Structure 1
Amino acid sequence: MRLFLREHLGIVMLFVLVVGGLLPLYQGVGGFNTTGGMTYFLCLSGFLLVATLTVRYFRRRRLYRWLGSPGRVLEELLGQESTDPLVNAFIQHGNASYQRYLGLLTEQQAATEQWRTHIVQWVHQMKTPLSVIRLLAQDGEGSRDPFPVLCELDRLQRQLDLVLSLARIERFENDLVTEQVHLSDLARGVMQQNQRLFLQSEVSVACTGEDVVVNTDRKWIGFVVDQLIHNAVKFSEPGSSVEVRIGARPEGAQLSVIDTGCGIRPRDLPRVCDLYYTGSNGRAGSQSSGVGLYLVKQVLERLGHSLQITSAVDEGTTVTVRFGTSTAAAA
């Protein structure tokens, strides 16, 4: 009630001023011949004012009661109906805003849960190389032959880079620099960085095809190529080979990573780029986090490139990055 009175105090004061100003004017032109007539006018005007304010209050009383009680929650008001157009408009607007808020809250909760899941998986991935390094140190093998330790350190570094990339993908535009990139030089640089992985896995990797220049981000496309080569080697048998094939087609430049490994089951193929989806091959081992291909797809979409995956079980997998006609030119 106090909120209602404060809101309409200006109307009451305006009424008093108008009536107080009109009475002398009306009396001066002979409008009231008797005191009773003036009294009747004042009573009628006051009654109409009180009646109007009373009707207005009862139509909006739920809103005033809710606003006057700090402890009340918004849902109590949004679930009600009113005969007053203003209150109904307020409730409809509040419902729309509330639903948007719930949607944003749900998205934030999902993102938080997603990040928590990744941290748990990441910690699990880090435990294996740490355990291997500890065993090598206890046996004294690390001092005689540093190669196994260096391989495990590479795995640790890869997991750290993966976490950083997952965090940076949300602010991708802040870390984007496009330039002319020679795909052959880029691929060979990535292969050079993974020499220990190739030796440890006993898998040979070769870069074939013509040199092609594309307009893209060197660091992010290097991350993509690194992930694709790493996946190909990881699911290849010792003694097999992986080919990085680069070429220019009428529809644009493309880079393919081809392996002859275990392949991807048809039921897994549509979901291999989903976050945390490891598929049948990933569940059979312990090295898959379900993050790499998800990040690859996210990066390529943000760069304006596309990804195509074809595979046959026990025959191998071909993953192709297509750069488009506007980005490719033979060097």
Structure 2
Amino acid sequence: MIRKYIWERKSWLLFVIAMELLFIFVAVLDEAIPLSPILYMVFLSSLLFIIFVVIRYQREVKFYQKLQEWDNNLNVTDLDYPVAPFEKIVAESLSKQADLLKESSSDIRTAMEQEKDDLLSWIHEVKTPLTAMHLIIERMEDKMLKSQLKYEWLRIHLLLDQQLHQKRITFIENDLYIEKVDLESILFGEFKTLQSWCIQKGIGFDLDLVEAEVLSDAKWLAFILRQLLTNAVKYSEASEIMIKSRMENERTILSIQDFGRGIEAKDLPRIFERGFTSTVDHHDNASTGMGLYLAKKAAGPLLIDIQAGSIRGEGTTFSLVFPRKNDFVGIMEGI
């Protein structure tokens, strides 16, 4: 801060130093002017100038420190009362900007809330004809056509479900209910949803749950598992998907292993990024790059760590590492 202040006032310093050197230079050239009084005056003027700079620095540095803090809270009332005319101009300008920003941010927040509510309402309305469509499809006799329509219906259903949870995920902390959750019942519910797709692709599930219960939120855990299972089915063909649970260091670990195309090693660190699909399979238009991103984001408030391992051409394993029971004390108190 001192260096910045001195550099900003360099014109002052150079001017004062130049004037004092000029006085000394004139006294040296003109023998009629005694040098000692001139040196004494230069010393006193230098001392007074230093005192002046220190006082100004102490006053102005407080103002500009508050100015830096203003960036974070937009509260100009925290600024020291401006003394210098320039400080007054800055303070008035910032005050006007803060008022405009607060008004616009409030309007934006209201508009976003309205947009979210409208979209959620629209999704719920779409679900009604979608359910009716599913019932109609179930009554069809043409098995080939029925299978194709069920697959397309499932794609729409999963995309709507993903969009619904994407809008809700911002307020996930207000929507959590931590309880003992039966992994088997949740998984079988997801198997049933994906059944037509799995039959079409010749995919089965091998379930081995040593630990069948975890502490979590049933609805959001189902959403996380839905994204991982959908991902496994999407990139597998005519193979088993192995789902196992075990206890390790007082933590339940649930693993979902597929034997599909796998993930390139260079892509693995980025698979949970928003919108990331693949740097290798550019032709894959079915992937939105949102499923794993949303799963990771939903796992955070549930204290679930999602880990991924993969070998290209051999398959991928996702592991959900659930928290210890004691880890939930704080989050349950917050709820």
Alignment of 1:142-157 (within 5 A): 144-145=142-143, 146-157=146-157
CA distance in 2, matches of 1:280, 1:258: 22
Deviation, 1:283, is 2.7
Tell me the SS of whatever aligns to 2:301. Answer: helix
Paired residues, number: 220
* Residue-by-residue CA offset, 1:140-174 (whole Å, 9 max, x unaligned): xx652222212211111111111111111122123
User: What is the distance in 2 between the residues matched to 1:98 and 1:269?
Assistant: 45
Shift of residue 302, structure 1, vs aligned partner: 1.6
Contact 1:205–1:244 (CA under 8 A) maintained in structure 2: yes
Partner of 2:20 in structure 1? none
Which one is further off, 142-151 or 288-297?
142-151
SS at 2:282 equivalent: helix
Unpaired stretches in structure 2, ≥5 consecutive residues: 1-81, 120-129, 328-335
What's the C-alpha RMSD, in Å, of the aligned pairs? 3.5
Report if aligned partners of 1:187, 1:207 keep a CA contact under 8 Å in 2.
Answer: no
TM-score for both structures, normalised by structure 2:
0.57
1:256-312 deviations in Å (ceiling 9; x for gaps): 110111111122111111111111365332211111001100100021111111111
2:326 & 2:198 partners in 1: Cα distance? 31
The aligned counterpart of 1:245 is 244
The normalised TM-score by structure 1 is 0.58
Matched, 1:309 2:308: yes
Q: 1:157–1:87: structure 2 CA closer, same or farther, 3 Å change rule?
A: same
Which stretches in structure 1 are left out of the alignment for 5+ residues?
Answer: 1-80, 120-129
Name the SS for the 1:285 alignment partner: coil
Letter in 1 for 2:85: D
Q: Deviations over 1:84-124 (max 9, x none)?
A: 3861672585499489769969x98xx99xx9xxx9xxxxx
Note if contact 1:203-1:242 (Cα within 8 Å) is conserved in structure 2.
yes
* Cα distance between partner residues in 1 of 2:308 and 2:100: 39
State the partner residue of 1:158: 158
Structure 2 residue aligned with 1:283: 282
- Provide the C-alpha distance between the structure 1 equivalents of 2:200 and 2:245, rounded to a whole number of angstroms: 25
Match of 1:320 in 2: 319
Return the alpha-carbon distance in structure 2 between the equivalents of residues 310 and 155 of structure 1.
Answer: 26
2:44 corresponds to: none
Query: Any idea what the Cα deviations from partners look like across 1:193-241, whole Å, max 9, x if unmatched?
Result: 221121011111121131332111101101111111110111112x211
Contact 1:244 1:257 in 2 (8 A): yes
Q: Distance in 1 between matches of 2:167 and 2:160?
A: 11
Asked whether 1:233 is paired with 2:229, we answer: no
Quote the offset at 1:315 in angstroms.
Answer: 1.5
**More relative contact order, 1 or 2 (CA 8 Å, 6+ apart):** 1
SS at match of 2:169: helix
Match of 2:40 in 1: none
Percent pairwise identity: 27
Question: In the aligned structure 2, how far is the partner of 1:323 from the partner of 1:147?
Answer: 36
Q: How does 1:1-331 map to 2 (within 5 A)?
A: 83-84=84-85, 87=88, 90-91=91-92, 94=95, 97=98, 144-145=142-143, 146-237=146-237, 239-280=238-279, 283-326=282-325
Q: Distance in 2 between matches of 1:234 and 1:99?
A: 48
